[in-house]
Structure 1
């Protein structure tokens, strides 16, 4: 998964909170309660990132998660139909997400975590299916892994030393 440096200051970013969980740590004096937040940020134009944050207060956990998401921004390929270039299986941990190319007018057919990633990445036509574990964090990371691993026809052509017309037929 190759990450290129994206200047987040020049992008108009939207964010979405995917999950907030209350987590506890048992210490000598009892349990310490904290909140863990999972946030996805994107500009709706092929740039998206996700991050997690943990703090004693919910707003602070969300702020930390948003900062982590901005630091972890990646570029995803989006074709002229506002879909993905080809079908792909994204995997992370025990979660697998099937990402299928869709024609114009299909919309986003996806579950909650995968839907948020696709919407914020600027993908408007896609079909997805969450396979394996439905852990929200792992589904988000599997979706991101699948999107960043995709290649455009131009990239395939460059790898093979051919023109795009020769590859697409």
Structure 2
């Protein structure tokens, strides 16, 4: 009986994660007998409460690739500090490969103004009012990783006060 309750709790923890596949690509590898075909899936996973990750999985079938991508995404999770207005604390930039992303806070009621994979990352992180711009590459994987990099660089006022060894009230002055 107690074992069943534990399994139900584990399932409840699993269900609050949302996953979105942003790209599925058929890739091939040349081997001695010819070409070996497999699938690469880029998956974004988040709980809409401040945690988000990007994962990549490769397998012989699409379902297996997505499953591996979800597992990889859970390993790559980052925590995002979200303000009361469902935005971020300050402007930040992220880079991954040739992709650069600029993310800015927005006023309540603005919504998510971003494109492609960046939009998916921000939505699954739980941000509701935010502006973002992709610069450079159009590669969905690099843009998603750049968005995660930008979110990872966010700091709260209390973190800044602690780093500077000043009281939190001193930053507001």
TM-score (norm 2): 0.89
Equivalent residue number for residue 158 of structure 2: 154
Equivalent residue number for residue 98 of structure 1: 102
Equivalent residue number for residue 8 of structure 2: none
Distance 2:119 2:169 in 1: 32
Equivalent residue number for residue 84 of structure 1: 88
Distance 1:163 1:86 in 2: 20
The 3-state SS of whatever aligns with 1:63 is helix
2:121 is aligned, of 117, 121, 124, to: 117
CA contact (8 A) 1:42 1:48 kept: yes
Stretches of 4+ moved more than 6 A in 1? none
Distance 1:161 1:36 in 2: 46
Deviation at 1:20, TM superposition (A): 0.5
Deviation at 1:39, TM superposition (A): 0.5
Distance 2:92 2:48 in 1: 21
**In the alignment, does 2:60 pair up with 1:59?**
no
Alignment of 1:24-39 (within 5 A): 24-39=28-43
The 3-state SS of whatever aligns with 2:58 is strand
**In the alignment, does 2:49 pair up with 1:45?**
yes
How many residue pairs match? The answer is 163
The structure whose Rg is larger is 2
Deviations 1:122-145 (A, max 9, x none): 000110000111111110111001
**In the alignment, does 2:133 pair up with 1:129?**
yes
Deviation at 1:164, TM superposition (A): 2.7
Q: Which runs of 5+ in 1 are unaligned?
A: 1-8
Q: Which has a greater percent of helix?
A: 2
Deviations 1:20-78 (A, max 9, x none): 11111112222111100011111100011111000110011001100111122111111
RMSD: 1.7
Equivalent residue number for residue 7 of structure 2: none
Which is worse superposed, 159-168 or 118-127? Answer: 159-168
CA contact (8 A) 1:100 1:126 kept: yes
